[in-house]
Structure 1
Amino acid sequence: MLQSDCPKGNLIETGGNLVDLSMCDQMGHMTVREYATVFDEASYELVKACGLELDGETGFVDLEMNMKFINEIREGGVFYVKSGFVKLGTSSFTAMHYMFSSLDDSLIASCEEKAVIFDLNKRKSEPMSDEFKKLASGFLVD
């Protein structure tokens, strides 16, 4: 699957890296732990692009992350990540993150993330700001 085969909409670039030996398992593949790190970092980039101030008072909490592995990536491989939203609720959102090979734009993996905007002091969810919703709606995908 190529980038052009992914859902249509405004995906934003949220990460990328060169796979080095420390990111690989004993078989030379990038480890699941590293995929989780890549998608977690993409989440932060996506919400920051929507104006969420990660200021120690407001943040977001992942409720669920489902990863799918499509193609292998090994040491020396280079990838980039693009992300967008598939659903915006009152305080929750569902985002999709796609990892592509920089070599040929083929899809390596994807991650569906369900999260909630969170008041870190009160330890409870809070509604998305109008600014966040407005900016996030610009990154909606089918």
Structure 2
Amino acid sequence: MSGEIECYRGVVHPWLCDAMGHMTTRHYIAMFDDGSYHLLAALGFGPDMLARRIGFADVNLNTSFKAELAAGDLIVVSGRVEKIGGKSMITRYTMRNLASGDVAADLVATTVQFDLSARRAIEVLPEIRANALRLFPEAEIAAGSMD
């Protein structure tokens, strides 16, 4: 979709399913989490920032389950930045069934830029902000942190 980037592709394996034959909620979250690393990398987050002890921390996750996934289903997760504040950003991830195109789930995350040594939120780095606005020009810019 326009305004999103692909963050993850996978398959629903039988061992990811519950007794009713559907992928369990914990595995949706794991796939969204894997996708978040790819979105953050697209924004410029990488090993150099970890070396500087700068990271990200999710402070709120809101998941909506919309369609069931079963063993053998191929999935793709896309993501985008929706809003950037002073110390945080809101991202949205959408998981689709590749064969049908149906949305299986959405996850909206509030994530703060984080000083890993001081263990506190810090201002979103200028290069992260610039990359987010370049990739997602429709993202809303908020005056301050959204947490």
TM-score relative to the length of structure 1 = 0.89
1:121 CA drift (Å): 0.7
Counterpart pick for 1:49 among 17, 22, 42: 42
1:91 CA drift (Å): 1.3
Alignment correspondent of 1:126: 122
The DSSP-based 3-state class of the residue aligned with 1:48 is helix
- 1:95 paired with 2:95, answer no
1:139 CA drift (Å): 2.5
Alignment correspondent of 1:15: 8
Please list every run of at least 4 consecutive aligned residues from structure 1 whose deviation after the TM superposition is greater than 6 angstroms.
none
Alignment correspondent of 1:6: none
Assess, with a 3 A threshold, how the Cα gap between structure 1 residues 128 and 81 changes in structure 2: closer, same or farther. same
Q: What is the one-letter code of the residue matched to 2:114?
A: F
- How far apart in 1 are the matches of 2:123 and 2:87? 4
TM-score relative to the length of structure 2 = 0.86
Q: What is the one-letter code of the residue matched to 2:127?
A: E
- How far apart in 2 are the matches of 1:112 and 1:47? 14
1:118 CA drift (Å): 0.2
Alignment correspondent of 2:65: 69
- How far apart in 1 are the matches of 2:67 and 2:125? 37
Task: Tell whether the 8 Å contact from 1:84 to 1:141 is kept in structure 2 after alignment.
Answer: no
- How far apart in 1 are the matches of 2:45 and 2:4? 18
Alignment correspondent of 1:139: 136
Counterpart pick for 2:113 among 114, 117, 131: 117
The DSSP-based 3-state class of the residue aligned with 2:30 is helix
Q: What is the one-letter code of the residue matched to 1:122?
A: A
1:104 CA drift (Å): 2.1
Structure 1 gap ranges (5+): 4-8
- How far apart in 1 are the matches of 2:121 and 2:55? 9
Assess, with a 3 A threshold, how the Cα gap between structure 1 residues 42 and 99 changes in structure 2: closer, same or farther. same
Counterpart pick for 1:27 among 20, 23, 26: 20
1:53 CA drift (Å): 2.5
Task: Tell whether the 8 Å contact from 1:96 to 1:110 is kept in structure 2 after alignment.
Answer: yes
1:86 CA drift (Å): 1.0
Counterpart pick for 1:36 among 29, 35, 50: 29
Q: What is the one-letter code of the residue matched to 1:18?
A: V
Percent identity, aligned pairs only, is 30
Structure 2 gap ranges (5+): 140-147
Q: Give the RMSD, CA atoms, in angstroms.
A: 1.5
Task: Tell whether the 8 Å contact from 1:12 to 1:139 is kept in structure 2 after alignment.
Answer: no
